[in-house]
Every structure is written in C-alpha cells, then in structure tokens.
Structure 1
Amino acid sequence: MSRATEERKLKHLFDGGAWNVYEPNILNLGVGAPGTDLLESCCDIFQQATEHCLQHEKKENQSLIFQYGPTNGCFEVRREIATYLSAMYDSPVNCEDLIITAGATNGLHLLLSTLIDFQGYIFVDEFTYMIALDSMKHFTSLTIVPVKLNDDGVDLRDLGEKVEKHRFSSPNKEFWGMYYTIPTYHNPTGILFSPEVCRGIVQLARKHDFLVVCDDVYNILYYGERPEARLLAYDARTDVDYAGHVVSNCSFSKILGPGLRLGWLEVPPRIKPLLEGSGFANSGGCFNNYTAGIVGSLFKLNLAQQQIARFHETYKERMLATTEALAAALPEGCKMLSPSGGYFIWIRLPQPLDAREFLKYSLEQQKIAFIAGPRFAADGDSGKQFFRLSIGFHGKAKLADGARRLCQSLKDYMMSVTTA
C-alpha cells in the first residue's frame, strides 16, 4: 500500500504513530490534547452555532462569511472573544487589538516572518514547546539562543546578558530579535512566571527593543487562585516609556477543540499595521473566516462559555488526581513541579538517570509513554534527567492509575540501574 493511500485513511494527528493515543494497549501520558469525552459534545453545540450563524448570513449579511474576510477578522467575532477574555482575565481586552489566526502556530509563523530580521535571534527558555522549536528551525538564518529557566520563570540575568551580547540594529525589520516563552503554566514545566520576572522581561524588552511573544494557550486554565496578571499586562500603555513590545499568542485548541484551527493574536498598536500589511496575512484575508463566524455564534448563544467551563473543571480534576497520585508514590530522589494550572507536570530524575532510557523501560514494562526532556531542548540533547506528563486526554481514574504504575515502574527501573 502506498504512503498516499495510507494517509487518506488517517483520522487524527496521532493516527499511524508509534504512540497512538487511541491505542488501548499503550497509555500515552505525553499527548497535549483534549480527550474524546471532552470533544463529544462539540457536534451538538457546533450544529446549533452553525445554524445560528448561517441563518444570519443568509438573511442579513449577504453570505459574506464565505468571502475573503477582513485581514484581522470580523469585528463582531473579535468583540465576542474580547468580551469573554476581559471577564476571564479580570482586565480589559480590546477587540481592536485582536487579529484572528488559524491557531497559535500560525500566529507564531506570522510574527516570525513579518517582524523579525532574518539574520536575527530567537531567545527561548532552555526547555520549551517542542513544535514551536520545530517551526523556528525552518527559519534557517535565525539563531536560536536557549536561556536558563528557574522555578519562577526565566533567569533575568542570563536573558539580559545574552540579549546584550547579540543585539544589533536591524535595517530591514521592526525587531532584531524575539524572546519566545509560555509564561502562564509553561510548556513543558507547568510553572507560572512570577510578577517580578514578568516585570523584568518587559524592562529588558524596552531597554534592548526586542519582541516578546507569549504563547498564552493555557491562561484561563487556573486551578486555584486566578494569576495576578498575564505578562502582556506588565507592558502597560500608561507607562511613560511604553512602545509596545509584548504580543499574546492564543488558541482555542485546548479549550474548544484543536480541529477548529482558530486562534488570535493580541498586539500593541505599533505592531498591528505591520501584521495586517503582511502578504502572508493579506493575500487571503482572515486566516479562518468561516470557523471564526461559527465560534462567534457559539459565544453569542453562550455555548462556548459553557463548553470552556466544562473543559476547565475537567482538567482541574485530572490535574489534582494525577499530582496526588504522583506525590504519594514518586520514588525518593525524584522531584515534581506541581503546577497550579495548565496541562503539564514536569518530573526530574536523580542523576545520572536518563529519561529516554526510562521511557524505553516504561513502554516495555507498563506500556506507558511520556515525553523525555531533550525533546523540549533546542539542541535536542539537554535535559535528559527530565520528562513531561500531560493531563489533558485521559480521565482522572485512568490518569491516577497510570501515575501509580509509572511510579512503580520508575522504582523498578532505578533499582535495576543501581544493581546493574
């Protein structure tokens, strides 16, 4: 059978892979996606929203949802998103600052291709979202510079020294460099950047005039107190030295469904006209005009709000069940960062253990998969003592049982290494 024939039969991103998350014989604790039980109600609510939207289009809007949309997205849709986010963040989000995208990866690509000098630099946390790294590496003339990460966020001294070392004046683009991060419930570590670190990042960005891109897909998934503020809020427009250095890059993938391919950028006035004037954006108009219209109706009917609240509560239950099981059974010498929100749990093994070798052992002994630390490193080799677990896909009972079995497997592995 040809590869083309095989691909036509694939049903989802993980289909055909070694760790198919739907494969019953392997418990994949690495996948960062919502599970089937969360998505099953989408058919009903999207059917209602589609009927609502298309009736409006047919009667009142000349079916313009099927036309090239405005580059930054339909105003009514952006207003619905901004209204919802303002309530969730407890701080204003202006619809005039939003640009509709086809998801966070699409937003990152737009920013890289439009705003950053192609001879420039991308500063990243020493462990960061692996697909973002893959996307950055396609811009082969850009240099990726890892920066040390602490338990409360990026190491400001290390970031400052590396930025100062590489800074140059760009004759071609708005920015000579970018710092990419996930400041709220970081991927893969789960940490929440402290207010002090957020303020420090903004100060450095203003001093050295580089762009800060926040991958903000987990912002509203807090499981205790709401975070004090997101990093974008520290780049306050009321400051006397404000110029606009921080962009929030968001997506509905974790809270409504990845298949929508819908997200948004929240950008300062300095940046918005540059993005709207990009040929990459302007050629086809709004990146996802049709789906954006349906999601707009989903919010108007209060269906999106209910669905997101359900996702939120389910994730909270799953995170608590998983961390409780790990805390009770994790072997001595291992360290777990217990997050207050988001999707991920970051575990450190004692030296000199290698998470890649433990992964092989875990798959063989317990049929449990996770993602080893080097996948999140720019060099593909650092962080061998770490691994990441995700709570998004499986139910809490399965996650708790899997966590206990993983800990037992880890104890057995550590014993086998010690006695070898």
Structure 2
Amino acid sequence: MSHENEDPKLKHLFDGSDWNVYETKVLNLGVGAPGTDLLEPCCDIFQQATAHRLKYEKSENRSLLFQYGPTSGCFDVRHEIAKYFSSMYDSAMKSEDLIITTGASQGLHFSLSTLVDFNGYIFVDEYTYMIALDSMKEFTTLTIVPVKLNDDGVDLKDLEAKVRERCFKPNGKEFWAMYYTIPTYHNPTGILFSPAVCRGIVALARKFNFVVICDDVYNILSYDEKPPHVRLLSYDARTDTDFAGHVISNGSFSKILGPGVRLGWLEVPPRLKPILERSGIINSGGCFNNYTAGIIGSLFELGLAQSHISRLYEAYKERMKAVIAVLNEQLPESCTLIVPKGGYFIWISLPEHLNARDFLTYSLEHEKIFFIPGPRFALEGDNGKHCFRLSIAFHKKDKLVDGITRLCRALKDYIKTLS
C-alpha cells in the first residue's frame, strides 16, 4: 500500500470515469450538467461582473467582499436573487428568508445536520437524486425510508403510513425527520408534483412535524405552460391559521449559470432561519461563499445573469422538445416514457422483465451510448431495474437527435434478441 497520495490531475468532475461526458468515443446521455457551448460565455460575463464588483469594493465597501461575510450572505446579493426569482415565480421571494450556500448539495447537508434528530428518519421518493442518497448515507444513525412515487408525485397514503409508524419526539433538534424531494421537474423521473400532492405533503408535515426540503434547482425550466405554483414552498402559506413553517426551498445556480460557480441559497420560514444561523458551521466562517456571492450580485445588477439564464433556458427547451419528438416517434411500443414539461431529465421504462443494466451493456457495445439505469436512483436493490434516465442538458440538439435515434434503434434490436 502506498504511503503517498496519488493525484490523477483531473480537469473536471467527470474526468477519468465512465461519466466523462467530454469523451468523444462514447455519447454520454447521463450527465446532468450544462454543456461546453452553454458555459462558453461565462468567461466574458464573469470578467465584467468581477470588474464591476471589485471597483465597488475598492471605492465604497472597504474590500469587505474579502472579509468573513454575514451568515446569511450580504443583503444586496440576496436582494438581487430575490428580485429575479420573484419575477420568475410570479410570487414574492423575500431577501430576509434567504441563506447563501455553496449549492443545493451543501444546502441539504447543512439543513439535515442542523435541523434533524440524528436518531431520526429521512423519507425519500422511491427514485430520487442519487448523489443526495449518497450524502444521506453518510449520516449513519439516520434511517432512510423510500416512499412510493406516482405519476403526479409522492403517494400520500404511503408517506402518511410510513411517517405515522415512525414518528417520535425529537431530542435537541427541531424535527424528528426530513422528507427530501424534487417536486418540480423531478430528478430522475421529470414529473411535476400536482397541486393536490403538494397540499397533501404540507398537511402531513404540519400534522406530524417533519421538515420538507425541496431540491428546487429546475423550477424556472418550464417548457410548456408554467404551473401556477412552481415551488412546493408556496403551499406552506403564511396566511394559513396553522402555519408554522415546515418547508425549505433549496436552490442553486448550477443548472442555470454554471456548476463551477458553487453558489445556491436556502429559502426558509421565519422559525427555522435563526436555528440555521446559530449553527457552528456557518458561524465559524460566515457566509459560505461570500466572494462569489458578491460577483453574482453584480452579474444580476448588470443584467448579465438574466441574459445568460435566458440563453440556457432556450437551449434546454429546444433540446427537450427535439428529444421528446424522436422518442414519441421511435421508442419501441413496449416501452413507455414520462414526458416532462420542464427540467433536464426523461425517464424511460422497459418491459418489466427486461434489465436496463443489460441494455446499457448492449448500448455501449453497439452504439457507444451511455445512460444511467434506474437502480442508481433507488435505495433498495434492483428497484427500477427496468428503467433508465436520459439527460438533455449537455449536448447540442443535433447530437442529441442522432444519439436518441440510435438509442431507439439499439433498444428495438436488443428487445428482438430476447424474443
């Protein structure tokens, strides 16, 4: 065993692995990240925003951008974020409700470690974001409980039964459990939770006093008619007589500006923000990403963020529509797909006796196309073994259309070999 660390000198997260979306020998349809063409303008717009912010720091702000920041993040930055997303959501986002984070993954970890009894539970959809599952498993004293997922969201009867069976009084923390979900353009299935399901989740959270944290990173990526409420948080209305604050919206710029920015935010109700701000992890260093937050503030102030987000949105919309058109025409009749109205992902189901992992092997051998089989998104064994997820984010439309066409051809041939 070596006594020295070896560094492979990688250039990005996917480098050196099966996930390498930059590897031209394989068409990777699995990675949920914006492509090179979409990130290319970032150098120029961030250069402008940085010059703008540093001029302000030097002339007016005593270079406080380089100081420990306020725990929630500087108000001017939170104001710019709130102003933009209020217009996108058609509902008010308040600056005072925001806490700056380094992205949705860190926001989840921070909320979980601060708010939930370590002898408690995390309820998750039976298919969910796989890296969130990996993060949750690090909390070895917490029990993760999968809940059935329907075409319109979580199965409320199953959620209530599992919550009721496990409920207890927390010791030293605000909540005994968390329900983690992606209610808007769900990862991996692409579904949008219905208003009835959203209202039901809030009712159960209030009744059994658990916290709901929503991974809200796709909310403004609506490609059809925008739903009236794009945040589950909006169903936890402060005007309700039984409001206490049980829902947190966990946002990020990774999908709409660039993942390397490492900036996000938690939108939290009044009773929970002081608890989060008293956490030692945020008090030790102040704002989790004070410098970059300042640059992002200038990016919005100059209107550069808005135009960049609009550009990514149009590209994603074009790609999603093109992929769905191919699938509707060429996917084998024995297979089904959930047609998403927004977001990044498409969920395809094979006939139940087939295995998506076996098809992946076939696809790589015959068409050099990679995707993610369903069990990677499930807590339990082979759950979802006949399903797989596609992403529309990284590749340009023409490459996606060609790839999906070849994938459908490979799937038809694969099914024939087993008949």
TM-score range, shorter chain: over 0.9
Q: Deviations over 1:230-285 (max 9, x none)?
A: 21000000000000000000100000000000000000001000000001111110
CA distance in 2, matches of 1:255, 1:107: 17
Distance 1:408 1:277 in 2: 56
Distance across 1 between alignment mates of 2:18 and 2:124: 29
CA distance in 1, matches of 2:23, 2:209: 48
In structure 2, the partner of 1:95 is 95
- State how far apart, in whole Å, the 2-side matches of 1:227 and 1:135 are: 30
Whether 1:373 aligns to 2:347 is no
- 2:76 matches 1:76: yes
Counterpart of 1:270? 271
Rounded Cα–Cα distance in structure 2 between residues aligned with 1:379 and 1:119: 21
User: How does 1:3-18 map onto structure 2 within 5 Å?
Assistant: 4-7=5-8, 9-18=9-18
Q: Tell me if 1:226 matches 2:226.
A: yes
Q: How does 1:171-210 map to 2 (within 5 A)?
A: 171-210=171-210
1:383-394 alignment, distance < 5 Å: 383-394=384-395
SS at structure 2 position matched to 1:283:
helix
Post-superposition offset of 1:351: 2.0
**Aligned partners of 1:310 and 1:129: how far apart in 2?**
25
2:329 maps to what in 1? 328
Q: What code does the residue aligned with 1:313 have?
A: E
Amino acid at match of 2:180: Y
For 2:257 and 2:5, locate their aligned partners in 1 and report how far apart those are by CA, in whole Å: 30
- 2:258 alignment partner in structure 1: 257
Match of 2:111 in 1: 111
Letter in 1 for 2:344: Y
CA distance in 2, matches of 1:166, 1:391: 39
What count of residue pairs does the alignment treat as equivalent? 416
Q: Distance in 1 between matches of 2:22 and 2:7?
A: 17
Superimposed CA distance per residue, residues 273-311 of structure 1 (whole angstroms, 9 cap, x where no aligned partner): 000000111111000000000000000000000000001
1:247 aligns to what SS in structure 2?
strand
For 1:210 and 1:80, locate their aligned partners in 2 and report how far apart those are by CA, in whole Å.
31
Q: Is the 8 A contact 2:316 2:392 kept in 1?
A: yes
Alignment of 1:5-404 (within 5 A): 5-7=6-8, 9-229=9-229, 230-404=231-405
The AA in structure 1 aligned to 2:255 is: K
Deviation at 1:379, TM superposition (A): 2.1
For the 8 Å contact 1:19–1:26, the answer to whether it is kept is no
CA distance in 2, matches of 1:57, 1:330: 55
Give the CA deviation at 1:226.
1.2
Asked whether the 8 Å contact 2:19–2:31 carries over to 1, the reply is no
Specify the code of the residue in structure 1 equivalent to 2:102. A
Cα deviation 1:147-176 (Å, max 9, x = unaligned): 000000000000010000000001211000
Q: Give the Cα–Cα distance (whole angstroms) in 1 for the partners of residues 297 and 54 of structure 2.
A: 11
5+ long unaligned stretches in structure 2: none
Structure 2 Cα separation of the partners of residues 227 and 248 of structure 1: 17
Structure 2 distance, partners of 1:20, 1:318, is: 20
- The amino acid that maps onto 1:141 is T
TM-score, structure 1 normalization: 0.98
Distance 1:268 1:227 in 2: 23
- Describe the superposition over 1:167-194 as per-residue Cα deviations: whole angstroms up to 9, x where unpaired: 0001211000010000000000000000
Alpha-carbon shift at residue 227 of structure 1 (Å): 1.6
Q: What secondary structure sits across from 2:364 in the alignment?
A: helix
User: Do the aligned partners of 1:195 and 1:228 also contact (CA within 8 Å) in 2?
Assistant: no
- C-alpha separation in 2, matches of 1:91 and 1:71: 25
Report how far residue 4 of structure 1 moved: 4.7
- Match of 1:394, SS state, is coil
Which stretches in structure 1 are left out of the alignment for 5+ residues?
Answer: none
Contact 1:100 1:288 in 2 (8 A): yes
> SS where residue 146 of structure 1 aligns?
strand
* Letter of the 1:386 counterpart: C
Range that drifts further, 112-121 or 224-233: 224-233
**C-alpha separation in 2, matches of 1:362 and 1:397:** 19
Q: Deviations over 1:96-117 (max 9, x none)?
A: 0000000000000101100000
CA distance in 2 between counterparts of 1:21 and 1:378 reads: 25
8 Å CA contact 2:224–2:342 kept in 1: the answer is yes
CA distance in structure 1 between the aligned counterparts of 2:227 and 2:280, rounded to whole angstroms: 37
Amino acid at match of 2:274: P
For the 8 Å contact 1:88–1:220, the answer to whether it is kept is yes
Counterpart-to-counterpart distance in 2, 1:342 and 1:212? 21
Q: Which residue of 2 aligns with 1:405?
A: 406
